A and B are shown apart, each in its own frame.
Chain A
Amino acid sequence: MRLFDTELKNLRDGIMAMAGIAEEMIELTIQALAERSSAKADRVNELDRQMDEWELKLDQLCVDLLALHSPAATDLRLIASSLKIIPEVERIGDHCCNIARRASFVHPPILSEGSLERLGQETRGMVRRAVDAFVGHDAALARAVIKNDDTVDDLYAQIYRELLRIMLADPLCIERASHLILVIKNWERIADQATNIAEEVLYILEGRSAKHPYLRGNAVE
């Protein structure tokens, strides 16, 4: 294998490793919230450090590949999109930390049973599928992720309204509800990150931007 191909493989493998950490962090975050587990929240923070290390390493790799190999066509698209995917994955880690550190402030539960869990699982599924689309060069799956963002947005809005009702009804719940608003906002942001990753996957595969379809008339089919 040529050196350049080896380096491209290192890049893809690195992004997959980062994504693996992100998925583990999401899983731990869901558990930390459900179980009020500070041990799991601590583990999320530890993983975030690994994530940050990967980000620095892969950013440098991308710049080196651009500087030393003058990539074109698919290779260029992979590297250009990697430079955008890498920070998206890293942000997922940051959001997980934000959620996990609130795990002890949201108990006892005030939300209707299962709704918070469902938001976490939906978001987790989106991240998983965005990563699978990247790994498997799967444009259809990337499109499905982009569509799925509406489901998470709806769920977020629904929980947000519920929290407002709870706060109005019982001021003693305001502190927990405030933490929960930030928790659900962070989940919703992670889903956006998954969407952005899926858009980059489409760019890598098809060579045209899938962002802001309203500006380009290229709505996701």
Chain B
Amino acid sequence: MLSPQTPETKPVKLSVRNMDFRYGEKKVLDGLSLDIHAERVTAIIGPSGCGKSTFLKCFNRIHEISAPVKVSGDMMIDGVDIYRGGIDEVDLRRRVGMVFQKPNPFPKSIYENVAFGPRLFGVKDKATLDGIVEDALRKSALWDEVKDRLKESATGMSGGQQQRLCIARALAVNPEVLLMDEPCSALDPIATAKIEELIVELKENLTIVIVTHNMQQAARVSDYTAFFWLGKLIEMDLTERIFTTPRERMTEDYLTGRFG
């Protein structure tokens, strides 16, 4: 974990400047500016309805699928604007993967779940696909548990396994960023611990942004924590600082349960 004594050495992967987000007329995110560093875990915390999940979805434009939205300000990945930089949405979603609150495997076999993305991007060779599937399942710490039943339906797995399968599915297309929207909220403490361990391992090669209502989870897994309130960024700092010495009174009140 990063500490105030060690200077940040990783480059900025995602950069947000003066960003507003509207669903129709309703402003959901208001004037956000922050940087997310590569190969770090950044946690976003805040009360329900503060815009955390919306913010997460802006990074791979997945909200555009369901509703008309308007994003203003800058949102960059590796210095290229996500909305105006001419990035192909499908390619963006490959680079910026997502894992949701409830495990949502396809009603297909374990193998097909993981092979789905690579197939979509044109991988046809069986041996190559096999390699990708194994690699993704290993990275998501699932391989040893499922290697003998790859053809079985994913829906028969436990909740924790399903969630790791969803992570494997996201990893199979070799993303640069992984967005996680409360990935453990439907899991028991043992499955949660496995996912958390996985998050820490995955950040070796990935930029991870995680939304969580579990403050202790943010404290355990993240390097940086951002506190959102009513669509605004109240404070962002090293997680260690946020949890011991937040600068803002609102952050303090939220963390100590004296909010509102």
Chain A residues at the B interface, C-beta cutoff of 8 Å? 2, 4, 70-77, 207-208
Closest to A2 in B: B257
Most buried by A among B246, B251, B257: B257
Interface string of B217-260 (1 = CB under 8 A from A): 00100000000000000000000000111100001100111000
Cβ-based interface call for B66 (8 A): no
Beyond the given pairs A70-B216, A72-B243, A73-B245, 8 more chain A to chain B contacts, judged by CB atoms under 8 angstroms and listed by A's residue number, are A2-B257, A4-B257, A72-B215, A72-B256, A73-B244, A73-B255, A77-B245, A207-B244
Asked whether, in the complex, the Cβ of A72 is within 8 Å of the Cβ of B245, the reply is: no
The interface residues of chain B lying within 8 Å CB-to-CB of A70 are 215-216
The interface residues of chain B lying within 8 Å CB-to-CB of A73 are 243-246, 251-252, 255-256
B184 to chain A, nearest CB (A): 16
The interface residues of chain A lying within 8 Å CB-to-CB of B219 are 72
Chain B residues at the A interface, C-beta cutoff of 8 Å? 215-216, 219, 243-246, 251-252, 255-257
Known contacts A2-B257, A71-B256; A76/B216 CB under 8 A: no
Whole-angstrom CA separation of A25 from B122 in the bound complex: 81
Asked whether, in the complex, the Cβ of A74 is within 8 Å of the Cβ of B252, the reply is: yes
Closest to A206 in B: B245
The interface residues of chain A lying within 8 Å CB-to-CB of B215 are 70, 72
Asked whether, in the complex, the Cβ of A76 is within 8 Å of the Cβ of B252, the reply is: no
Whole-angstrom CA separation of A132 from B102 in the bound complex: 52
Closest to B247 in A: A207
Main secondary structure of the interface of B (DSSP, over half): helix
Whole-angstrom CA separation of A71 from B257 in the bound complex: 9
B216 to chain A, nearest CB (A): 5
The interface residues of chain B lying within 8 Å CB-to-CB of A207 are 244-245
B243 to chain A, nearest CB (A): 5
The interface residues of chain A lying within 8 Å CB-to-CB of B251 are 73
Closest to A207 in B: B245
Whole-angstrom CA separation of A74 from B246 in the bound complex: 9
Most buried by B among A4, A74, A76, A207: A74
Cβ-closest 3 pairs across A and B: A207-B245, A72-B255, A73-B252
Asked whether, in the complex, the Cβ of B244 is within 8 Å of the Cβ of A77, the reply is: yes
B192 to chain A, nearest CB (A): 15
A202 to chain B, nearest CB (A): 12
Closest to B245 in A: A207
The interface residues of chain B lying within 8 Å CB-to-CB of A72 are 215, 219, 243-244, 255-256
B220 to chain A, nearest CB (A): 11
Whole-angstrom CA separation of A75 from B245 in the bound complex: 10
Q: What are 6 residue pairs bridging A and B, where the CB atoms are less than 8 Å apart in the complex?
A: A70-B215, A72-B243, A72-B256, A73-B243, A73-B251, A75-B256
Whole-angstrom CA separation of A72 from B245 in the bound complex: 9
The interface residues of chain B lying within 8 Å CB-to-CB of A77 are 244-245
Whole-angstrom CA separation of A207 from B244 in the bound complex: 7
A99 to chain B, nearest CB (A): 38
Whole-angstrom CA separation of A76 from B243 in the bound complex: 8
The interface residues of chain B lying within 8 Å CB-to-CB of A2 are 257
The interface residues of chain A lying within 8 Å CB-to-CB of B257 are 2, 4
B135 to chain A, nearest CB (A): 36
The interface residues of chain B lying within 8 Å CB-to-CB of A71 are 256
Closest to B253 in A: A73
Whole-angstrom CA separation of A77 from B255 in the bound complex: 13
Closest to B5 in A: A216
Closest to A208 in B: B245
Whole-angstrom CA separation of A74 from B252 in the bound complex: 7
B221 to chain A, nearest CB (A): 15
